[in-house]
Amino acid sequence: MASGIRVPALRRRDGHHARVTYEELFFDLVYVFAVTQLSHHLLHHLGLLGVLQTLVLWFAVWLGWQYACWVSNWFDPQAPRIRALLFATMLLALLMSSSIPDAFSERAWVFAGAYVTMQVGRTAFVLLEVGRSHVLAPNFRRMLAWVLVSACFWMAGAAAEGNLRLGLWAVAVACEYLSPMFGFAFPGLGRSRTREWTIEGGHLAERCQLFVIVALGETLLATGGVLSEAPHWSDEVVSAVLATFAGTLAMWWLYFGISSEDATDTITRSDDPGRIGAYFHYVHALLIAGIIATAVGNDLVMDAPGAAVGLPQAAMLVAGPLIYLLGSALYKRAVYGQVPRSHLLGAAVLVLLGVALPHMHLLAAGWLTSVVLLLVGLADTRLKRARRRAAG
Maximum average pLDDT range among 195-199, 336-340, 353-357, 384-388: 353-357
Cβ neighbourhood burial of 370 (10 Å; 0-12, 13-18, 19+): buried
Q: Say if CB 285 and CB 59 are below 8 A apart.
A: yes
- The model's pLDDT over 170-191, given as tens digits with 9 standing for 90+, comes to 999 999 988 888 888 888 888 8
Name the average pLDDT for the chain.
Answer: 86
pLDDT classification of 388: cutoffs 50, 70, 90:
low
pTM for the whole thing? 0.88
Cβ neighbourhood burial of 215 (10 Å; 0-12, 13-18, 19+): buried
Kindly write down the DSSP assignment for every residue of 131-147, as one continuous string.
-SSSTTHHHHHHHHHHH
- The model's pLDDT over 121-163, given as tens digits with 9 standing for 90+, comes to 999 999 988 888 888 888 889 999 999 999 999 999 999 988 9
Lowest mean pLDDT among 112-116, 238-242, 388-392: 388-392
pLDDT classification of 3: cutoffs 50, 70, 90:
very low
pLDDT classification of 193: cutoffs 50, 70, 90:
confident
| Span(s) in the chain for CATH 1.20.1410 | 201-387
The 3-state DSSP class for residue 374 equals helix
User: What is the four-CA torsion angle of 166, 172, 175, 176, rounded to 10 degrees?
Assistant: -110
Kindly write down the DSSP assignment for every residue of 61-124, as one continuous string.
HHHHHHHHHHHHHHB-TTSHHHHHHHHHHHHHHHHHHHTGGGTTTTTHHHHHHHHHHHHHHHHH
Question: What does DSSP assign to residue 11?
Answer: P
Q: Residue 194: what pLDDT? A: 66
Q: From CA 39, how far away is CA 54, in angstroms rounded?
A: 8
Taking 60 as the threshold, does the pLDDT of residue 241 lie above it?
yes
Q: Residue 287: what pLDDT? A: 92
**Taking Cα atoms as reference points, which of 16, 33, 25 lies closest to residue 72?**
25
Percent with pLDDT over 70 in the chain = 90
Lowest mean pLDDT among 98-107, 156-165, 330-339: 330-339
Continuous H helices in 230-305: 235-252, 260-269, 273-303
pLDDT classification of 89: cutoffs 50, 70, 90:
very high
The 3-state DSSP class for residue 209 equals helix
How many CA atoms does the CB half-sphere of 293 hold within 13 Å?
Answer: 29
Q: Residue 2: what pLDDT? A: 43
Measured in degrees and rounded to the nearest 5, phi and psi for residue 190 equal: 75, -160
Q: Say if CB 331 and CB 310 are below 8 A apart.
A: no
Q: From CA 284, how far away is CA 295, in angstroms rounded?
A: 16
Please say whether the structural domain 201-387 has been given the CATH code 1.10.530: no
Q: Residue 84: what pLDDT? A: 93
Q: From CA 377, how far away is CA 383, in angstroms rounded?
A: 10
Q: Residue 46: what pLDDT? A: 86
The 3-state DSSP class for residue 45 equals coil
**Taking Cα atoms as reference points, which of 388, 392, 366, 376 lies closest to residue 255?**
376
Region 249-257: mean pLDDT is: 89
Percent with pLDDT over 90 in the chain = 45
Taking 90 as the threshold, does the pLDDT of residue 37 lie above it?
yes
